[in-house]
Structure 1
């Protein structure tokens, strides 16, 4: 009896709290009601904006799929299985990544994942005759692009998996996703020593923008007010690569013109277009 009475009193207190914020009975509360409460508490200064954002992201997380937050295949850093060990070591040093996919002939055929720590013992010793990268790669964890992020997070944490290859319905590689990507979907960007603290989208003038290469094409279309093709490429870096037909070198600054908009690869990092300059003053521009 005392336990029941205590529970009843708690429910009454919760109901009174909800009514203060214009919400209904605790037994009938919905996700929308909870978010209204969080927003109301945030507006009163009881919780910070960052806390409010995390709570909102937790609710949204269950609606996300691996395909929503993965690194697209065109932006992936990967090495071919025929590359010498030295190339793999240089790639790890240059990118700062602790895990890199290894592919055979094409990135649609990922054959393993190379761990940086597995390379350490070969840095100051002779490489054995006949050595291949696949001799030290680890098993690939594949997930469909439609995989729910909540389920994927549970699987990766319980199995202590840090990186997964995302595949489409035909088994081709869509991209890759890391445990850090999943965590960042909830708590926001996690800065480390290899990240640049730079705004994803920055307006430089009325007709010039600087954006991350990972910015979605449809987001850029909305930003500049000009429709861009997004059938084959999800990101602005992917869109540029589609038109360039190759990955630019780090000292190159190639440009393409798409629908009268000039795109310049402003920064190349880790064999990907990391930063793009967009110019919409199209009076003298012709389509690429």
Structure 2
């Protein structure tokens, strides 16, 4: 039958087959290159996107119908090219015909359509879905049979037959956020990336250290307790008995405002309105702790180490500030900002957490014996700190700039050393 076709007819059929091969090649690349998030959104309003989404839910079937069509067409094109070559140049023309067909397939049926589809996946993928969907229904028995043999071979090789749609990894999602031009790079991008970074930040990195916790000793005289309540800028205060290690409850200032105004507040009443303290481990990640605060309807937690000893305090505001930044710079602000003086030189507060500093500046100051810069220096010198004292700790030079009246370090200049220059 093929031999009865004229030379012109054979050429026309081969060109048509090359176009069909180009369709299957571009459809495969276009559908696989579709952005899954945009596809799900477009599927709500566009029929082509909806069909493409359904096809991609069973990628093994989609690939099956595409490869069946493409291979059938290419084999048929090869057979017709052989007949054409025999007609034109005899047996010796078969080699030239095969070479010409190979180049034509590579250029017009593979490279060009696949490149275009990779650049414009929606222009190719959505319309192609209208054709591939009925083809898959028509040739479903053949596709099923081929996939049966293919999946059997995959199982023998230890490869699972089911192909699951993988979710975006954290880093891929970050890249998607950064490259999205619709987001304000100075506000929304930073906030969304900070939310994803909560998984890597621990409670101990942002907590208020134990020595900075403002609290009330219930055994103090009443005038002292009242002055502390009236003078505080905080809305919640831990209440302890003799030692901060023995917290008996959390006081919400708002619950005693009316009694303070009417001068009816007493120690007994104060104890009666305390809320049970809530403890959190220092190794908990902020993402999990944020959910715990929400589930337990809490805004403050007392941080304990592995032995149950109190090491700090964390509030919901501390976590939210990791997402949106500082809320305020009023007198209540802990002011743990890092001020850069020059290359590799920074001025920081003595009470800043070492882990927080390491994370912000990509440093590796030791954290085994202390949690704050103040504690690190004191533990190293084994003496009371003094201004202008300089010491080297591993690859860092620390200079004490200011010491408070209680012998705690207020500010420190830290320089990362270059050992080769030294």
1:111 deviates by 1.7
Alignment of 1:20-35 (within 5 A): 27-28=165-166, 29-35=168-174
What is the TM-score with the length of structure 2 in the denominator?
Answer: 0.49
C-alpha deviations, 1:191-222, integer Å up to 9, x for none? 26445596712244689753234433367689
Alignment of 1:151-170 (within 5 A): 151-170=288-307
1:9 matched residue in structure 2: 49
1:122 matched residue in structure 2: 260
1:153 deviates by 1.6
Q: Which protein has greater RCO, CA pairs closer than 8 Å, 6+ apart?
A: 1
Inter-partner Cα distance in structure 2 for 1:236 and 1:100: 25
Alignment of 1:125-140 (within 5 A): 125=263, 128=266, 131=268, 134-140=271-277
Within the candidate set 149, 167, 179, 2:286 is matched to 149
2:391 aligned with 1:259: yes
Inter-partner Cα distance in structure 1 for 2:238 and 2:245: 11
Q: Structure 2: which 5+ runs fail to align?
A: 1-42, 57-117, 120-163, 393-397, 416-422
Inter-partner Cα distance in structure 1 for 2:302 and 2:366: 26
Within the candidate set 29, 35, 38, 2:177 is matched to 38
Inter-partner Cα distance in structure 1 for 2:204 and 2:357: 19
Which of the two has higher C-alpha Rg?
A: 2
1:126 deviates by 5.8
SS in structure 2 opposite 1:169?
A: coil
Q: Identify the range of structure 1 (258-267 vs 87-96) with the bigger mean alpha-carbon deviation.
A: 258-267
The alpha-carbon distance between structure 1 residues 92 and 243, as it changes in their structure 2 partners (threshold 3 A), is farther
2:186 matched residue in structure 1: 49
2:245 matched residue in structure 1: 108
Inter-partner Cα distance in structure 2 for 1:176 and 1:140: 11
C-alpha deviations, 1:58-114, integer Å up to 9, x for none? 212133332232212122222322123333343344440111112223222222112
RMSD, aligned α-carbons: 4.5
1:141 deviates by 0.8
2:207 aligned with 1:70: yes
The alpha-carbon distance between structure 1 residues 111 and 266, as it changes in their structure 2 partners (threshold 3 A), is same
Alignment of 1:221-232 (within 5 A): 230-232=367-369
Within the candidate set 183, 186, 202, 2:339 is matched to 202
Q: Structure 1: which 5+ runs fail to align?
A: 21-25, 281-288
C-alpha deviations, 1:231-287, integer Å up to 9, x for none? 3322224446668999x9xxxx9648362543244678xx9969414377xxxxxxx
The alpha-carbon distance between structure 1 residues 105 and 32, as it changes in their structure 2 partners (threshold 3 A), is same
The alpha-carbon distance between structure 1 residues 239 and 107, as it changes in their structure 2 partners (threshold 3 A), is farther
1:117 deviates by 2.4
The alpha-carbon distance between structure 1 residues 153 and 47, as it changes in their structure 2 partners (threshold 3 A), is same
Inter-partner Cα distance in structure 2 for 1:146 and 1:124: 43
1:23 matched residue in structure 2: none
Higher strand share: 1
Within the candidate set 209, 215, 220, 1:83 is matched to 220
Question: For the Cα contact (< 8 Å) 2:299–2:316, is it kept in 1?
Answer: yes
What is the TM-score with the length of structure 1 in the denominator?
Answer: 0.68
Alignment of 1:169-188 (within 5 A): 169-188=306-325
